[in-house]
Amino acid sequence: MKEIRNIAIIAHVDHGKTTLVDQILKQCQVFRDNQVVRERFLDSNDLERERGITILAKNISIPYKHYKINLIDTPGHSDFGGEVERVLKMADGVLLLVDSFEGPMPQTRFVLEKALSLHLKPIVVINKIDRPDNRPLEVLDEVYDLFIELGADENQLDFPFVYASGREGWAIKKLDDPRIDLTPLLEKIIKRIPPPKIEEGTAQFQITSLDYNDYVGRIGIGRVFRGTLNKTTPVSIIKRDGSVKQTTIKQLFIFNGLVREEVDEVQAGDICAVVGVEDIDIGDTIADATNPEPLPIISIDEPTISMTFTVNNSPFYGKEGKFVTSRQLRERLFKELEHNVALDVQEMNTPDAFKVSGRGILHLSILIENMRREGFELQVREPKVIYKEINGKKTEPIEILTVDVPSEFAGKVIELVGQRRGVLVKMENKGNLNSLEFHIPSRGIMGLRTKILTATSGEAVMHHRFFQYEYFKGPIGKKSNGVMISMDEGPATAYAIDSLQDRGKFFIDPGEVVYRGQIIGEHNKENDIEVNIQRGKKLSNMRASGSDKAIKIVPAIKFTLEEALEYIQDDEMVEVTPKSIRLRKLYLDPNERKKYNLMKMNEED
């Protein structure tokens, strides 16, 4: 029987977790010699690979000497913080990766705080030492300061550390050591991460993450905290509400390298997957049938943002997608709840609309992006923050926002964030950059990235994460520009776009087919205007001097899905299909729009 070590890798976005795991897998011969291995092996989902971010926690195991190291790769983005908190429950220690130039970032703080509160043993890896602008000693001091700030105990403050390059596959204890392979890091893991604590008693296993398979349904992944889990022995499942029912396990899998290996029993301390238990949920305890004792309930963070998803009812309905009905939309959203625990879906008064709530715009836009790739067409209303009442007062979610920016732009960033009720709480110098930290309402962040990037010539780097609920901060000014709306349906002409360019910026190219009520650009002024974008040039047999001047068209602004969601107002929607992202007015008919605007004005009065 191999000795077990359970360790989670935690870090800020893009500090190199998944790349380091690739190298550990190669050096521990998890891959066959002739196997072709793609980069960032664990980012298996298409979206993870394209965006270079980890969305779902992954479990693998690594054989090293006579040890089995269960390794959990976690997301670094705060919108998926719900995943991080739960999977840390399976670990006895954490590998904290920090970029040797950037140092601790907002998400480093978030994941480390969770790990310290669970009393996990940390090993610090100062990664990307091969960067030309590295500053490893300063970064190590910053990490130490962060531990003190987060109230680490003496045992945690005495953390082991290594310097590493995940990309090149080596780790060293001192900066002048020879750079050979990752052995120093693996040795630290087996020496400094404690083996799992084994308590005496009957079986206890807790579900900390879910997988889903169309053939077997839900698969519960978690750790055996006590006793032995055996697929021949009847067990009880204890739900969050305390109810207990008897059940049997059809299959048990342990993680062996990158694959799941079926076994008959799993000992305490190991991580495994359970198949065949009905209605299994995050936080459920599987325990002995005769002596069912629950483990402490896992708390799941509540959603902070909601959006209304509706079926597509635009004139182009059904032209690009294959799933367009409200029944298909409903089934897909409720299926997502099977494993996306931080999500909430509620049916609304109308049968074709659903209120979907999540941890942030990125969390919800990943869901929408996955749906459009599967062939869904849908429309989404603008994101709204979820308010709560505490002590009889209205409260709203506040985020910690950090912006790293060249010092000459710092004033502009402070001004922009201040306009959205953001308060500067910290300002530091990092090389030739200023690192600014703000507390800002979640609703103030919507649409802010574009404004900051424009003001700083694209030089700013922004990160934000949920902080806490605070009393309502007061109104925030809306976007000052109106939009340009198409009067008619048909292809846009270069002639019409050229003659309207002095009115504003366009979101469409010549030749693109648009419909009446579609938003095709941003107006220079505060009001919305309708324009005839299909207008062609009148042809006559007379040639006037200067009338045939060359048409020069400014390239159209193309929104990503997140930018489109942040851009729209409450009388607008984003239409999402497998091929297109279009902005449109809620009411396509101009008379209905006028009625809606009058009703809104009366409500405000």
Domain identity same for 28 and 101? yes
pLDDT the model gives residue 311: 94
Note whether residue 308 is domain-resident: no
Say if residue 19 carries a ligand binding annotation: yes
**12 belongs to an annotated ligand binding site:** no
User: How confident is the model over 374-416, as pLDDT tens digits?
Assistant: 899 999 999 999 999 988 899 999 988 888 888 888 999 999 9
pLDDT digits (tens, 9 = 90+) for 112-144: 888 888 888 888 988 888 888 888 888 898 888
Q: Is the pLDDT of residue 509 over 50?
A: yes
- Distance from C-alpha of 256 to C-alpha of 269, rounded to nearest angstrom: 15
Percent helix, strand and coil across the chain, each to the nearest 5: 25, 35, 40
Whether residue 57 has pLDDT greater than 70: no
pLDDT, tens digit, 9 for 90 and up, residues 196-235: 887 777 888 888 877 776 677 778 888 888 888 888 888 8
Q: Which two tokens stand for residue 86?
A: 């739960």
Residue-averaged pLDDT of the chain: 82
Asked whether the beta carbons of 47 and 79 are under 8 A apart, the reply is no
The answer to whether residue 241 sits within a structural domain is yes
| 454 found inside a domain | yes
Say if residue 11 is in the same domain as residue 150.
yes
Counting every residue written for the chain, the total comes to: 605
Long-range contacts of 433-436 (CB under 8 A, 24+ apart): 433/404, 433/405, 433/406, 433/407, 434/404, 434/405, 434/406, 434/407, 434/410, 435/402, 435/403, 435/404, 436/402, 436/403, 436/404, 436/405, 436/410
Give the C-alpha separation, 77 to 43, whole Å.
14
Residue 463 labelled as part of a binding site:
no
pLDDT tens-digit readout, 244-280: 888 888 888 888 777 778 888 888 888 888 887 777 7
Does one domain contain both 107 and 240?
no
> Is 329 contained in some domain?
no
Cα–Cα nearest to 193, from 1, 4, 8, 5: 5
DSSP, residue by residue, 136-202: HHHHHHHHHHHHHHTT--HHHHS--EEEEETTTTEEESSTTS----SHHHHHHHHHHSPPPP-BSSS
Same domain, 240 and 279: yes
Assigned domain for 355 exists:
no
Tokens of 233: 């022995």
* Burial category of 72 from C-beta neighbours within 10 Å (exposed 0-12, middle 13-18, buried 19 and up): buried
126 and 10 part of one domain: yes
- Are residues 239 and 143 part of one domain? no
Supply the Cα-derived Rg of the chain in whole angstroms.
27
Let me know: does 564 contact 558? Beta carbons within 8 Å: no
Based on the fold, state whether residues 255 and 393 are members of the same structural domain.
Answer: no
- Note down the domain range covering 534: 483-604
Same domain (yes/no): 494, 536: yes
Is pLDDT at 79 greater than 70 in this prediction?
no
Q: Is 571 flagged in the annotation as binding?
A: no
Tell me how many domains the chain contains. Answer: 4
End-to-end CA gap in the chain: 74
Type and span of the H or E element at 297: none
- Does the annotation flag 54 for ligand binding? no
- Pick from 449, 471, 493: which residue ends a domain? 471
> Would 302 be classed as within a structural domain?
no
Measure the CA–CA gap between 275 and 285, rounded to whole angstroms: 14
Any idea what the CATH number is for the domain that residue 569 is in? 2.40.50.250
pLDDT at 216: 73
Within a domain: 359: no
State how far the Cα of 281 lies from the Cα of 210, in Å rounded to an integer: 7
Q: Are residues 448 and 505 in the same domain?
A: no
Task: Answer whether residue 81 shows pLDDT above 90.
Answer: no
- Sorted by sequence, the CB contacts under 8 Å of residue 214 that are 6+ apart come out as none
Mean pLDDT calculated for residue range 542-560: 71
The span from the CA of 528 to the CA of 70, in Å, is 57
Residue 560, annotated ligand binder? no
pLDDT digits (tens, 9 = 90+) for 556-586: 988 888 888 888 888 899 999 999 999 999 9
Residue where the block lists tokens 């005769």: 290
What is the residue type of 229?
Answer: L
Judge whether 16 is annotated as a binding position.
Answer: yes
| Residue ending a domain, choose from 258, 273, 288 | 288
284 annotated ligand-binding residue: no
Residue 117: CATH number of its domain: 3.40.50.300
Q: What is the mean pLDDT of residues 63-87?
A: 70
pLDDT at position 70 is 86
* Domain CATH for 418: 3.30.70.240
Ligand-binding site membership of 231 (annotated): no
Task: Determine if residue 129 is labeled as part of a ligand binding site.
Answer: yes
Considering the domain architecture, whether residues 173 and 240 belong to the same structural domain is answered as: no
Q: What is the distance between the alpha carbons of residues 259 and 246, in angstroms, rounded to a whole number?
A: 29
Cβ atoms of 565 and 382 within 8 Å: the answer is yes
Residue 331 lies in a domain: no
User: Tokens standing for 566?
Assistant: 């942040």
CATH number of the domain bearing residue 216: 2.40.30.10
Best CA proximity match to 484, nearest among 473, 472, 497, 471: 497
Q: Is the full-model pTM beyond 0.75?
A: no
Indicate whether 128 and 159 sit together in one domain.
yes
- Among residues 411, 440, 471, the one where a domain terminates is 471
Rounded mean pLDDT, 427-453: 85
Judge if 120 and 222 occupy the same domain. Answer: no
> Is residue 38 very low, low, confident or very high in pLDDT (cuts 50, 70, 90)?
very low
Provide the pLDDT confidence category of residue 298 given band limits of 50, 70 and 90.
Answer: confident
